[in-house]
Structure 1
Amino acid sequence: MTVDSPGTATAGPQDAPGRAAGKSPTPPAATGPKDVRQPSRGRRSLPGGLLPYLLVTPALLSMAALLLYPLIRNVMLSFQQLGRKEFITRETVWVGFDNYADLLTKADFWTVVLRSVVFTAVNVVAIMAIGTGIGLLLNRLGKKMRLLLSLALVFAWAMPIVASVTVFQWLFDEQFGVANWLMRTMGFAGYDQHNWFETGFSALAISTVLIAWGSIPFVALNMYAGLTTIGTELYEAAKMDGANGWRTFWAVVFPNLKPFFLITTFLEIIWVFKAFTQIYAMNKGGPNRESETLPVFAYIEGQGQFHYGVAAAISVLTIVMLVAIMSFYFRLILKQEEEL
């Protein structure tokens, strides 16, 4: 023991018996866990970056078999002249871009394109507006009325398309249709055995009602699900600021559900643009092919006129239009992510 200063003592070398005996001091024991789990020798784990790709491989293979191969075959057919003669002789006649050139120089094709765009725009606006309003109504109703309305929406959404088309054909029947009876009851003249499908405009109008009726439940239920994620304090703050219902929607609901509106609008554009069964089963694109949209136009050119190469070219051009719409949507998504 040595004393450095009055009242202070430090331990000297004589206090370390191990060092005095000429031995090195024993290192302190490790404080970590005693049992270290070793990897199993009988089973090797996959690399962390490879496992996600293995999990999505079955889905990718299924999509390649069900979507990619038919798409490639369809593109190949669009460069061929495939009619009745080629079907009988099994001859492959390559015509290059002649099918596309014939379509792009025909006024009938551009008339169908314009009709399809207008038809899609009217449907999407109606579906999103009415579906959003019903979703807001679901959020305000009590439990019993909300359950009743939700069940009605689900039943409308779950009805098969052909069955719903049959119901609408009965509703607008010339002799026993409810539409003619209702118009006569309201005092309108000229609706005794009125043909609602005598013009392409009226046929598309009925198809618009049918498509909107089947698509509104999807938007309404998703809208209600999105509204449940908005905190009540935001509504209370808007109410304290004196905002009315319309102002509350644009200041609270729309900014919080902007991704919902983007993805839902995008999906509705795709679904309506490629709608086929509702239009063809309603009136087969008539009268005089005045209610044809691009999918119906492609089907009639292929199955009705036996111009399968031209029909394939129409479908390829339809896909190109949808890809253009998708690129616009993805730009909006990327722009929104940059703003966050």
Structure 2
Amino acid sequence: MTVQIERPPSGPVGVANKHRRGSAGAGPRGASRARGLVPYLLLLPACAVTVLLLGWPLVKDVLLSFQNLNMAQLIQRVTEWNGIDNYTQVLTGADFWRVTLRSILFTAVNVVVIMVIGTLVGLLLARLGKRMRFTLMIGLVLAWAMPVVAASTVYQWLFAQRFGVVNWVLAKLGWESMADYSWTSSQMSTFFVVTLLIVWMSIPFVAINLYAATTTIPAELYEAAALDGAGGWKSFTTVTLPFLRPFLYATTFLEIIWVFKAFVQVFTINGGGPDRLTEILPVYAYIEGVGNQHYGMGAAIAVLTILIMLGLTAYYLRIVLKQEEDEL
């Protein structure tokens, strides 16, 4: 018996079959590679918009900080590069370091007050009934959603010297000397009004964020803690706080950034006054750059402000990561 071995066709049909088999083998790998590129393609428009709206202005600001740009240069349309003269003048002056220290203290006080009150309100939301919780959350959302300029204007009316509601209430309560008190005439009273405004606008974010975090805590853990004889404080420290700690870290990080760059509230209330005693770094950069028409110096202050904010946030993140490592 003769066995015939069929040889594969060597013509165009064989080449087509070989190509078909190769395509079938490469198909799954190609599809997997294409699926891996999908997330990056979806992120590409957002990254492009971010670079366009944030990256390019930042580059322009850095370039402007190395120029001597005043009104004369703008009128003549002349670009004068002066190297690091703007940075040298800013860093060797006492005003910059005084404003920097004031900005750090202002941020620290506001963030501490915001986090303490916001955490208490968030825990209160978790304990309230549905109707009271809904009512309180409506008030928080309305306070949070109010535009910053509108809220600042309302606070200007509340603390107005002649017809302000606060002075009227204080006078009715027996403090007649407060009937005509100017809240923006001194450094501390101006900072009090600004801090009250910032805290009022920031508490809703912290409270709602932490209330959402409390909903993720299993009820069985509280039951187990109660069976072990733990009271309210013990349950908070052993059950609630460990679950809330990541949310507290993230929320504090965001509040540091938001309070540090609180330009609108400070500038709207009193323009950094009286006598520039309530200027923080963003207001200081604006007044030196736009107000005094030293645009190059204002740009240098803005760049230094960004670097200081990055340093503060990096230091905070380092502390947080170190605490997490110690807990592990």
TM-score range relative to shorter protein: 0.7 to 0.9
Q: 2:72, 2:230 → 1: CA distance?
A: 70
Aligned-residue CA RMSD in angstroms?
2.4
Q: 1:256, 1:192 → 2: CA distance?
A: 48
Give the match for residue 134 of structure 1. Answer: 121
Q: Does 1:226 align with 2:213?
A: yes
AA paired with 1:69? W
Residue of structure 1 aligned with 2:157, choices 167, 170, 181? 170
Give the match for residue 186 of structure 1. Answer: 173
AA paired with 1:47? A
Q: Does 1:286 align with 2:273?
A: yes
Give the match for residue 88 of structure 1. Answer: 75
Moved more, 277-286 or 234-243: 234-243
Q: 1:337, 1:226 → 2: CA distance?
A: 22
Give the match for residue 12 of structure 2. Answer: none
Structure with the largest fraction of helix: 2
Give the match for residue 90 of structure 2. Answer: 103
AA paired with 1:253? T
Q: Does 1:146 align with 2:133?
A: yes
Give the match for residue 158 of structure 1. Answer: 145
Q: Does 1:115 align with 2:102?
A: yes
Whether the 8 Å contact between 2:183 and 2:189 is mirrored in structure 1 is: yes
Residue of structure 2 aligned with 1:51, choices 29, 38, 41? 38
Residue of structure 2 aligned with 1:310, choices 297, 308, 311? 297
Structure 1 residue matching 2:102: 3-state secondary structure: helix
Shift of 1:140: 0.4
Q: Among the aligned pairs, what percent are the same residue?
A: 53
Cα-to-partner distance string for 1:101-128 (whole Å, 9 max, x where unaligned): 1111111111111111111111101111
Give the match for residue 273 of structure 1. Answer: 260
Structure 1 residue matching 2:273: 3-state secondary structure: coil
Shift of 1:236: 2.2
CA pair 60-339 structure 1, distance change in 2 beyond 3 A = farther
Structure 2 residue matching 1:50: 3-state secondary structure: helix
Whether the 8 Å contact between 2:66 and 2:86 is mirrored in structure 1 is: yes
Shift of 1:185: 2.1
Give the match for residue 20 of structure 2. Answer: none
Instruction: Decide which structure has the larger Cα Rg and report it.
Output: 1
What runs of 5+ residues in structure 2 fail to find an aligned partner? Answer: 4-23
Shift of 1:243: 3.2
Whether the 8 Å contact between 2:144 and 2:201 is mirrored in structure 1 is: yes
TM-score, structure 2 as length reference: 0.87
Give the match for residue 244 of structure 1. Answer: 231
Cα-to-partner distance string for 1:38-97 (whole Å, 9 max, x where unaligned): 6999xx745343222222111111111111111111011111111111111111111111
Runs of 4+ displaced beyond 6 Å: 38-41
Moved more, 71-80 or 86-95: 86-95
Whether the 8 Å contact between 2:170 and 2:179 is mirrored in structure 1 is: no
AA paired with 2:207? A
TM-score, structure 1 as length reference: 0.84
AA paired with 1:100? Y
Q: 2:234, 2:81 → 1: CA distance?
A: 60
Structure 2 residue matching 1:190: 3-state secondary structure: helix
Q: 1:120, 1:204 → 2: CA distance?
A: 11
AA paired with 1:129? V
AA paired with 1:233? E
CA pair 243-216 structure 1, distance change in 2 beyond 3 A = same
Q: 1:290, 1:244 → 2: CA distance?
A: 48
Give the match for residue 11 of structure 2. Answer: none
Give the match for residue 10 of structure 1. Answer: none
Cα-to-partner distance string for 1:100-159 (whole Å, 9 max, x where unaligned): 111111111111111111111111011110010001000000010000001010011111
The number of residues matched between the two structures is 305
Moved more, 55-64 or 239-248: 239-248
Shift of 1:288: 1.0
Shift of 1:213: 0.4
What runs of 5+ residues in structure 1 fail to find an aligned partner? Answer: 1-22, 24-37
